[in-house]
Structure 1
Amino acid sequence: MHVVMFADQHAETLGGAQVSTRLQRRYLERAGHTVTVVAPERHGSLARSGAADPSYLDIPSIPVTPDREYSFSWPGRRADRAIDAGFAGRPAPDLVHVQADFWGAFLGYRFAARHGLPVVHTMHNRVDVGIRATVPLPGVVLWLLNGWRRLALRGLPGGARTGADGWAYLRGLAAGARAVTAPSAHFARRLEAHGVRAEVDVVWNGIDDDVLDRVIAAAPEERAAGRPRFVWLGRMSPEKRLLPFLEALALSGVDCEVDLIGGGAQSGAARRLIARHGIEDRVRFAGRLTYDETLRRIAAADALVQTSIGFETQGMTPFEAASLGTPAVVSDPDIAAEVGGGVWAVEPRDDEPGRVVALARTLRRAAADIAGGTAPVPDPRMPGRFRQSSRTAAMIAVYERTLRSATV
């Protein structure tokens, strides 16, 4: 089959949804299918990487972040024409897989409607939490976002749905899909509870089989001597709670080593906070690393630290760590419950100062367990359950069911 994926950001940019899209594409192609990924074009030096890849259909965009990592495409007729023109000479599509929540989703549903194709929608975003964490006046923004949805999808099922909050927005998108999937059970149950879909398929985002095997084979059998080694990775933005982690690290007084992997708007603030607290000897900025190197760093660490709360629809990093045999300090109780073993769960608190104190306490406990050789052990079944080959097989089953229903 020919699957057309629509994304809000180019698959070669930083982010969990982008990693998932790249892996899904690769393993679908290994299974003999054709994949086209439609997403905003990148800019500057970033535009050169992957530019000649025939599986990518880049559409006109404008950069939206100072580092030009992320772009925006207006979901209008110009983009529609560019997408349709981009399919000249490509095999006829069979199915649209929307891997987006904003402009990419609108463009995907519009494309599906023009060409009479069924849609599978993987929802990656807790829109309500994400908007509250990143913008002022979130109620106004959500009202505007729902208005934009109705305008962009006018004449389609998603344009007819009313409502002004984050769940109304997701319900509107799902109205045009034949199947909805979520990358975790806890997010799937929330989607069902809020009427986004009566039944949501749970298909975890996975880890590359080949990389997993390479990293596990190269990992040392015994822990190297030295201070406890923690790793934090992700986008350095408010919803990921990097700054509260650094505050907790300083408060904890733990003598350890911390690698910070990634980049983003808060990197400068993080450096200033580290200097203010005098913890430069404990924290290193690794920058953006390749996928392989990131996983090697996780495998070499004594523990991964996950700090966002309520924002993640899956939270890839603790799953990746568990697959590599590395335990994790986990702030989000939903993620801690889904990962299962190998977790130091941070005590839930409603206020940010309380959360920082609870995280500091957990970091001290984790460091003591690591030093004492009593760190919790991840579920040994996780590497098999989290392999991308198994996740792709699960998604293909959803595709096949969707195509069967489309012919009824």
Structure 2
Amino acid sequence: MRIVDVNEIYSPTGGGVRTYIDRKIEVLAAMGHELIVLAPGREDRIEERPGGGAVHYIKAMGMPFDANYGLFWDAEPLRRRLDALDPDVVENCSPWRSAWVVAGWEGRAIRSFFMHNDNLEAYAKRWFKPVASSGRIERAFAWYDRYLGRCLAGYDTVVTNGPSLTRKLAGRGVRVDATMPLGIERGHFSPTLRDEGLRAALLQQCGLPAEAQLLLGVGRHHPEKRWPTVIDAVRRVGTQAPVGLVILGQGMDTRTLEKHIADNPHIRLFRPVYDRRRLATIMASADAYIHGCGTETFGLVPAEALASGTPLIVPDGGGTAEIAHPRFAEVYEPRDAHSCADAILRMLGRDRAIVRRAAAVAATRVRSDEQHAADLVAHYAAVIAAKDQPFRRSA
């Protein structure tokens, strides 16, 4: 089966979506399928992947507020590339221009709208939450759901990346045909990678002794990630207990976060770690993983942390909360630094050995990306069969 993913939120410097797509290319190739991504770029170029599949960058305009991403506007280059590739499935994940281009393309492929996020939750509610209730915001932006309904009418199937997103969309009357929970590359992550020497070195970077507690955060420096909430919470906890925070990432808010941290020596920002083994070792060596974003539909990085046997401190909202069992996790009210600080203190007050043992048991049950890919391909095959269309059989 050949799948072409028209993906405006894929970027070489992106976060969770890039990680998901890069791994998906590998997994599908190993299964005998082919995934080709059409992504906005500064120039036309093709990046072939060693095991099969590719990323085709198509020259497009940049996104006004985030230089990491681009926007498709001209339909013709996309249509020409789709004609040449003649896929069995075309995926799209953006509700803007590319959605209409894919829906209107006249090729034989089935169209799949793959929901990675919910713009109403990620943007409208984030912007207006301080002045309006969730219900009022949803009513004010009901036009967006109506628009989304018209957009999705051109697709053969609408897929979400997890039950949290399905519930939110279905609750607002938005069509969903299948829920395909994501998975992680389980092979990289393991509690056995814990390195006490690395842990002590990271605490030393935070100006703290090895007896202190090390919290880890990973993600883009972007307003939706809510790092200021986490930073403020750790600052509060620091007046009562020795705790250090290391955040791996970069982005449009890096300068803002640096100013927010100011001269606090116990909170450090480090650049992203792209080497998966190194990242997995850092995750396994932290005493707890802490997350700020409560609107993500699937917590990819928290799932990786859990697969590393690391306890979780996460917002009580979005996809991340779905994996936060009380045996190894503490939750807090999203966007609330006081609630986050209380969750950190609760975690620090627990028996470290017991909570890590519970996280290590849960690590073996984290869903893999191979399971996700197999379920997704089976769903697409069923949709193709229902349309009585032939497709390229996997090897």
* Structure 2 contact 314–324 (Cα < 8 Å) conserved: no
Larger CA deviation: 396-405 vs 124-133: 124-133
Q: Which residue of 1 aligns with 2:242?
A: 255
Q: Which residue of 2 aligns with 1:363?
A: 344
* Structure 1 contact 3–34 (Cα < 8 Å) conserved: yes
Gaps of 5+ in 2: 130-140, 201-209, 390-395
Note the C-alpha offset of 1:272: 1.1
1:71 and 1:328, CA in 2 relative to 1: closer, same or farther beyond 3 A?
Answer: same
Deviations 1:224-252 (A, max 9, x none): 75321111111212221111211111112
Note the C-alpha offset of 1:357: 0.7
Q: Which residue of 2 aligns with 1:308?
A: 293
SS in structure 2 at match of 1:235: coil
Note the C-alpha offset of 1:89: 5.8
Q: For 1:3-402, what aligned pairs fall within 5 Å after superposition?
A: 3-42=3-42, 51=47, 53=49, 55-64=54-63, 68-74=67-73, 76=74, 80-86=75-81, 90=85, 92-110=86-104, 113-132=105-124, 164-197=142-175, 199-212=176-189, 218-220=193-195, 225-253=210-238, 254-275=241-262, 278-280=263-265, 282-290=266-274, 292=276, 293-309=278-294, 311-335=295-319, 337-341=321-325, 342-348=327-333, 355-369=336-350, 372-375=352-355, 377-378=358-359, 380=361, 382-402=363-383
Gaps of 5+ in 1: 138-162
1:136 and 1:346, CA in 2 relative to 1: closer, same or farther beyond 3 A?
Answer: closer
RMSD: 3.1
Note the C-alpha offset of 1:136: 8.2
1:402 and 1:221, CA in 2 relative to 1: closer, same or farther beyond 3 A?
Answer: farther
Q: How many angstroms apart in 1 are the aligned matches of 2:366 and 2:353?
A: 27
Note the C-alpha offset of 1:97: 1.7
Q: Which amino acid aligns with 2:122?
A: G
Larger RCO (CA under 8 A, 6+ residues apart):
2
Q: How many angstroms apart in 1 are the aligned matches of 2:164 and 2:304?
A: 18
- Greater strand share, 1 or 2? 2
Q: How many angstroms apart in 2 are the aligned matches of 1:382 and 1:99?
A: 29
Q: How many angstroms apart in 1 are the aligned matches of 2:76 and 2:296?
A: 34
Note the C-alpha offset of 1:216: 5.1
TM-score, normalised relative to structure 1? 0.78
Note the C-alpha offset of 1:37: 0.5
* Structure 1 contact 261–288 (Cα < 8 Å) conserved: yes
Q: Which amino acid aligns with 1:188?
A: T
Q: How many angstroms apart in 2 are the aligned matches of 1:209 and 1:169?
A: 38
Q: Which amino acid aligns with 2:355?
A: A
Q: Which amino acid aligns with 2:379?
A: V
SS in structure 1 at match of 2:361: coil
* Structure 2 contact 231–267 (Cα < 8 Å) conserved: no
Q: How many angstroms apart in 1 are the aligned matches of 2:65 and 2:147?
A: 28
The alignment of Structure 1 onto Structure 2 pairs a total of residues equal to 361
Q: How many angstroms apart in 2 are the aligned matches of 1:383 and 1:173?
A: 39
Deviations 1:70-113 (A, max 9, x none): 22221x3xxx32234335764x3111122334344333323xx3
Deviations 1:163-194 (A, max 9, x none): 85333233233222222222221211222222
Task: Indicate the percent of aligned positions where both proteins have the same amino acid.
Answer: 21
* Structure 1 contact 40–58 (Cα < 8 Å) conserved: yes
Q: Which amino acid aligns with 1:83?
A: L
1:396 and 1:94, CA in 2 relative to 1: closer, same or farther beyond 3 A?
Answer: same
Larger CA deviation: 392-401 vs 188-197: 188-197
Q: Which amino acid aligns with 2:39?
A: A
Note the C-alpha offset of 1:291: 5.2
Q: Which amino acid aligns with 2:211?
A: G
Deviations 1:119-138 (A, max 9, x none): 1222111111222266689x
Q: How many angstroms apart in 1 are the aligned matches of 2:55 and 2:332?
A: 43
TM-score, normalised relative to structure 2? 0.81
* Structure 2 contact 117–165 (Cα < 8 Å) conserved: no
SS in structure 2 at match of 1:173: helix
1:374 and 1:218, CA in 2 relative to 1: closer, same or farther beyond 3 A?
Answer: closer
Note the C-alpha offset of 1:3: 0.7
SS in structure 2 at match of 1:39: strand
1:184 and 1:52, CA in 2 relative to 1: closer, same or farther beyond 3 A?
Answer: closer
Note the C-alpha offset of 1:336: 5.4
* Structure 1 contact 191–200 (Cα < 8 Å) conserved: no
